[in-house]
Chain A
Amino acid sequence: MRPGTVRVGIVDYSAGNIQSIENAFDHIGARTQRVRQESDLEALTHVLLPGVGAFGFCVDKLRDTGLIPALERWALTEGRPLLGICVGMQLMADRGEELGVHEGLGWVGGVVRELRADPPCIRVPHVGWNDVRFTEEFGPFTAGSSADFYFDHSYALTAPTQGVALGLCDHGQEFTAAVRRGNLVAAQFHPEKSQSAGQRFLQGFLELSA
């Protein structure tokens, strides 16, 4: 799909760096709008679920919008493209273990756990640029290739039980850096902050169509 024909809806639930994501899509020529209610989904080709904050806070905020059934229908029933970023990815697990145990959306399964710190080499939060190895082709990334992306998180998805771990990363332990279930894609890293590699990743997402 050419950038000019896509329209990306960014779910606005007061728990995301929406501005940065809008800017990143703007740089690759894709139009964006904010999604606050179900009717906002109508004109869209792609949906983005951001997330910055503690797991419990984010999942509560998302539930408050009442958008979850519509998003589930979009991504799972209709198989249309949806990308989760950072906590937006974590919310797709069965549960998250940040500041208590919280039930997630269950879209990709698995559990979100705190990374183990082992200073001086392995520090948590995991902040900075780390290489992601792609297990299969995604957009311009070939299976087996790797690229540096920007991470900023303390919790990570163990292993998805639905779909595949699209990208793997090491920080004291191997964790799922990106996951894919059909047109449902999610990344623990921040493509919107990952300069050229991030733009290529977002382009890969925009190539998906239902």
Chain B
Amino acid sequence: MLKKRLIPKLLIKHRQMGNTVMPVLVTTRGYKGVRDVGDPVSQAKIYEANLADELIVLNIDSTPIAGDQLMLDLIERLASETLMPLAVGGGVRTIEDFGALLDHGADKVTINGAALTDPALITAAAGRFGAQCVVVSIDYRRGDDGAPRVFSGLTGETSHDPVEWARRAVDLGAGEIVLTDADRDGAGEGLDVELCRRVADAIRVPLIVSGGCGLAAHFVEGFEEGHAEGVAAGTFFCFRDQSPMQARAHIRNAGVPIRLEV
């Protein structure tokens, strides 16, 4: 049977180091509070050794990927130094950007702001590369009225409800949805399981949930109560005492089907 996925999320920022600019792995809290971790490729190798099921790599500077040779080079290094499935995004605006990332070793491409400003891009990319390659990432936060609203770096806050936007993105051709609660990002206090389940139950494609994992039990909640196919986390995998293998064992012992060996 299909296994549930544990997905480390590599957030990348461009950092000036002396005369050169380097891609650096960071973590965030509430999409702010950026904390540098180190070299993304070394960290990816550790994740591979710990049986990560795939990686999400996001350029959180969101510089347009078309002119971002640094990011393309990073993807090429990740693809050559690990043998893991890579979903890559941040700064993807056009169908040519999909092609460039796939040529450099990405397996899937995630779009966020561009899907909101140009929904036809979802359909065009699915027609060219297949729906399985097109991942729509949905970030939301709750306003003063408590209602979740979709936002992106490109559009700012929108009036979209995450459930409705996910359903529409799938109708347009998205093959996977990544749902992230920005308020819970990096807090380690658990996922927004209730909204996760509402989105998952509204769509036929796999849902990956992210934002808030601090314990192995939070992953279990995402799978069992949130109906997610994958749980992604950045901070959880970067800074913790328990090894990812112990987390996997805990999740497996809770009855969730996941890989334990290669």
Contact A23 B2 (CB under 8 A): no
Partner among B53, B126, B128, B227 whose Cβ is within 8 Å of the Cβ of A120: B227
Contact B105 A19 (CB under 8 A): yes
Q: Does A4 contact B (CB under 8 A)?
A: no
From residue A32, how far is it (CB to closest CB) to chain B in Å?
A: 13
**How far, in whole Å, are A86 and B251 apart by their CA atoms in the complex?**
30
Contact with B along A51-88 (1 / 0, CB 8 A): 01110010000000000000000000000000000010
Contact with B along A22-65 (1 / 0, CB 8 A): 01101100000000000000000000000011100100000000
Contact A124 B204 (CB under 8 A): yes
Contact B53 A128 (CB under 8 A): yes
Q: Does A126 contact B (CB under 8 A)?
A: yes
Contact B107 A17 (CB under 8 A): yes
**How far, in whole Å, are A17 and B108 apart by their CA atoms in the complex?**
11
Q: In the assembled complex, which residues on chain A have CB atoms less than 8 Å from the CB atom of B200?
A: 119-120
Given A19-B76, A23-B105, A24-B83: A54 and B127 interface contact (C-beta under 8 Å): yes
Contact B2 A129 (CB under 8 A): yes
Q: Does B129 contact A (CB under 8 A)?
A: yes
The interface-forming segment of B130-138, B148-156, B214-222, B238-246 is B130-138
* Residue of A19, A57, A98 with most chain B CB atoms under a 10 A cut-off: A19
From residue B74, how far is it (CB to closest CB) to chain A in Å?
A: 13
Contact B176 A128 (CB under 8 A): no
Instruction: Determine the residue in chain A with the shortest Cβ distance to B174.
Output: A125
Given A52-B130, A120-B200: A128 and B206 interface contact (C-beta under 8 Å): yes
**How far, in whole Å, are A126 and B54 apart by their CA atoms in the complex?**
14
Contact with A along B52-63 (1 / 0, CB 8 A): 011000000000
* Residue of A26, A152, A199 with most chain B CB atoms under a 10 A cut-off: A152
Contact A53 B128 (CB under 8 A): yes
Given A52-B102, A119-B201, A120-B200: A152 and B79 interface contact (C-beta under 8 Å): no
A interface residues, how many (CB within 8 angstroms): 44
Given A154-B130, A194-B83: A119 and B3 interface contact (C-beta under 8 Å): no
Q: In the assembled complex, which residues on chain A have CB atoms less than 8 Å from the CB atom of B80?
A: 19, 23, 26
Contact A27 B83 (CB under 8 A): yes
Q: Does B211 contact A (CB under 8 A)?
A: no
**How far, in whole Å, are A123 and B2 apart by their CA atoms in the complex?**
10
From residue A52, how far is it (CB to closest CB) to chain B in Å?
A: 6
From residue A170, how far is it (CB to closest CB) to chain B in Å?
A: 6
Given A190-B107, A195-B83: A128 and B2 interface contact (C-beta under 8 Å): yes
Q: Does A198 contact B (CB under 8 A)?
A: yes
Contact B129 A54 (CB under 8 A): yes
Residues of A in contact with B (beta carbons under 8 Å apart)? 17-20, 23-24, 26-27, 52-54, 57, 87, 98-99, 117, 119-120, 123-131, 148, 150-154, 170-171, 190, 192-199
Which 7 interchain pairs have the tightest Cβ spacing?
A196-B262, A125-B132, A117-B204, A19-B105, A125-B175, A129-B3, A23-B80
Q: A27-B83, A128-B3, A195-B83 are in contact. List 4 more A-B contacts (CB 8 A).
A: A17-B102, A19-B76, A52-B129, A131-B1
What are 11 A-B pairs at a CB distance below 8 A? Answer: A17-B107, A52-B130, A98-B130, A125-B175, A127-B5, A127-B176, A129-B259, A130-B2, A130-B3, A152-B108, A195-B84
